[in-house]
Chains A and B, each alone.
Chain A
């Protein structure tokens, strides 16, 4: 039996996210998507149970993040990526494609999860869909 598990801060963040009615994603210290809650699943188009954890390269490929002006974004340029790399909270907006192929414009607040003052174990990203332009 391999005794490996995420840091408690990440475990508790996931537990918190399961109880939130606001769409929430959790990524780990590598940027891999390790959880999204049911509210996020409504937007993304599939449940976490269906999708499971996604390496950073895979979620970039699936969701094609881009600016609201349709310029491609690398994972490091998304609010979650900036929060992880620069170890600071970030608020921003971007667009992505859901599993249903629809484009979603969202505003995101992402903040790093510190387990120690010098150790970030992941990022929590809470997002809202922007209202469709008339």
Chain B
């Protein structure tokens, strides 16, 4: 399994000299499974460049797993070339709703007045499905989705391929559900992340910022590190960087996180555009 980061910024795309190191595109991660299947996690602005890369291939089937429908996780769809090029088939997965289909909810953004073109005009075959309640297979991987603590229905994903586990929790505030040294079973997202080889986790705030943003749905870097310890993950990658955060400030937060991980955990990463992480036989 190869994990490629195309966007790790949270909330708002933030291009510019202060963010050029880690990148300003919002959430999008490509996962190349061991059997060659392409799985995409979220469709923030980072998916535009991924789409350009995919368009170099013969059209085929893509699996796109959305954690939730906040704009920073879907705003790239309008410029994701495979979605607008005939021959491709895109299978969307997203959080269930008791009242509306996933297609209807995605359409709220991909329709006037927020976007000029609607889903009915897609030249591709797009299929929209609520995530299954039980783990399911995509290509060579076993996928598990669970609702996690964030504002509005939000999923985290666990992807297991060739015995390696990637967990993706870009928007997550587990501290709201339990103290992070509480019984693990009562911490949002714990079972999903338990024992993961790589955890991409919300690290939006500094310790000082968090008290004024309590309940906004995101974690501080200290909480991300505590969650990674509670879930006994091998390696934490800071994700969903605050749009106000410069590269230099991210480096400072990274030093703080590095101090907080256990000695038997691998040195934490800062997710940055272009970063490629190989897990399992791909490493």
A8 lies within 8 A of B186 (CB):
no
A5 lies within 8 A of B190 (CB):
yes
B184 lies within 8 A of A12 (CB):
no
Knowing A1-B194, A15-B178 are in contact, say whether A8-B185 is a contact too (CB < 8 A): no
Q: Flag whether B86 is at the interface (Cβ < 8 A).
A: no
Q: How far is the CA of A115 from the CA of B95 in the complex (A)?
A: 12
A1 lies within 8 A of B232 (CB):
yes
Q: Chain A 107-125, CB within 8 Å of chain B: the 1/0 string?
A: 0000000011100000000
Residues of chain B with a CB closer than 8 A to A8's CB: 146-149, 177, 188
Q: Distance in Å from the Cβ of A26 to the closest Cβ of chain B?
A: 11
B178 lies within 8 A of A11 (CB):
yes
Q: Contact residues of B with A, CB < 8 Å?
A: 96, 98, 133, 146-149, 176-178, 184-188, 190-192, 194-195, 232
B148 lies within 8 A of A4 (CB):
no
Closest-by-CB residue of B relative to A35 is: B186
Q: How far is the CA of A127 from the CA of B195 in the complex (A)?
A: 39
Residues of chain A with a CB closer than 8 A to B177's CB: 8, 11-12, 14-15
Q: Distance in Å from the Cβ of B192 to the closest Cβ of chain A?
A: 8
Residues of chain A with a CB closer than 8 A to B191's CB: 3-5
A1 lies within 8 A of B195 (CB):
yes
Contact residues on A (Cβ < 8 Å of other chain), bracket: 10 to 19
The residue that A5 contacts in the complex, of B96, B98, B149, B186, with Cβ under 8 A, is: B186
Sample of 17 more A-B contacts, CB < 8 Å, known A3-B191, A11-B178, A117-B98: A1-B194, A1-B195, A3-B192, A5-B185, A8-B148, A8-B177, A8-B188, A9-B147, A11-B186, A11-B187, A12-B149, A12-B177, A12-B188, A15-B177, A15-B178, A115-B147, A116-B133
A3 lies within 8 A of B194 (CB):
yes
B98 lies within 8 A of A116 (CB):
yes
The 8 closest A-B pairs by CB, nearest first: A5-B185, A5-B191, A3-B191, A8-B147, A3-B194, A15-B177, A11-B177, A117-B98
14 A-B pairs with C-beta separation under 8 A: A1-B194, A3-B195, A4-B185, A5-B187, A8-B146, A8-B149, A11-B187, A14-B177, A14-B178, A14-B186, A15-B178, A116-B96, A116-B98, A117-B98
B98 lies within 8 A of A15 (CB):
no
Residues of chain B with a CB closer than 8 A to A4's CB: 185, 191
Residues of chain A with a CB closer than 8 A to B194's CB: 1, 3
Q: How far is the CA of A1 from the CA of B230 in the complex (A)?
A: 12
Closest-by-CB residue of B relative to A119 is: B133
Q: How far is the CA of A9 from the CA of B187 in the complex (A)?
A: 12
Q: Flag whether A6 is at the interface (Cβ < 8 A).
A: yes
Q: How far is the CA of A8 from the CA of B147 in the complex (A)?
A: 6
Closest-by-CB residue of A relative to B184 is: A5
Residues of chain A with a CB closer than 8 A to B232's CB: 1
Q: How far is the CA of A76 from the CA of B160 in the complex (A)?
A: 41
Closest-by-CB residue of A relative to B153 is: A8
Q: Distance in Å from the Cβ of B52 to the closest Cβ of chain A?
A: 36
Residues of chain B with a CB closer than 8 A to A115's CB: 147
Q: How far is the CA of A5 from the CA of B187 in the complex (A)?
A: 9
Q: How far is the CA of A7 from the CA of B191 in the complex (A)?
A: 10
